[in-house]
Amino acid sequence: MFIGSYAITMDAKGRMAIPAKVRDTLASVCEGRLVVTAHTEERCLLVYPEPQWLDLQPKIEALPNIHRKARRMQRLLLGYATPLELDGNGRVLLPQTLRDYASLEKKLMLIGQGKKLELWSESGWRQELDTGDDDESMPEEMLSLSL
C-alpha cells in the first residue's frame, strides 16, 4: 500500500501536510484515521492506518511482558500510540510528546513501509541510511511479529 519516500515539512504548531498520493490511500483505507506511535528501535514514528493498528494492538498486548524487550516494546508502542485524523486540508497535528521522541523539527521524511509509514527527522533519516546493521538477538515471539 505505502511505498516511496517523501520530503515534507512541519510547521511550528506541529502540523504536517500528508502528500496527496499518501493522503488518497489513507482516505480509501481508513477515511483519514491514523494511529501514530514510537518506533521501538529507532528514533522515528510509526504511522498506521487505524484498521492496521487495531489488528496489531492485541498482538502487542499479548506479548510475554516477563521479557524486558517485550515489555519495552509494549511501553513504547502502546504508551505513545495516539489516534489522529487528517483535517480538511490533509494535515495532521503531531503531539509534542511524539515530536520530542523522534526529534522532529521542520524538515521531515515520510517513508512508505507497505502497510504502514515511518516518519523521520530529515537528519535522522540520513543518519539511518549511513548506519550499518547491528545483529542483535531477539526473542522468537518478536521475530514472528511484523510491525
In this structure, is residue 56 part of a structural domain? yes
In this structure, is residue 12 part of a structural domain? yes
In this structure, is residue 103 part of a structural domain? yes
CATH number, domain of 39, equals 3.40.1550.20
Global pTM reads 0.87
pLDDT score recorded for residue 61: 96
For 96-115, how does the pLDDT look when each residue is reduced to its tens digit (9 = 90+)? 999 999 999 999 999 999 99
Query: In total, how many domains does the chain have?
Result: 1
Where is 15: in which H helix or E strand? strand 15-17
- Residue-number span of the structural domain to which 87 is assigned: 5-126+138-143
Rounded Cα gap, residues 132 and 147, in angstroms? 21
In this structure, is residue 83 part of a structural domain? yes
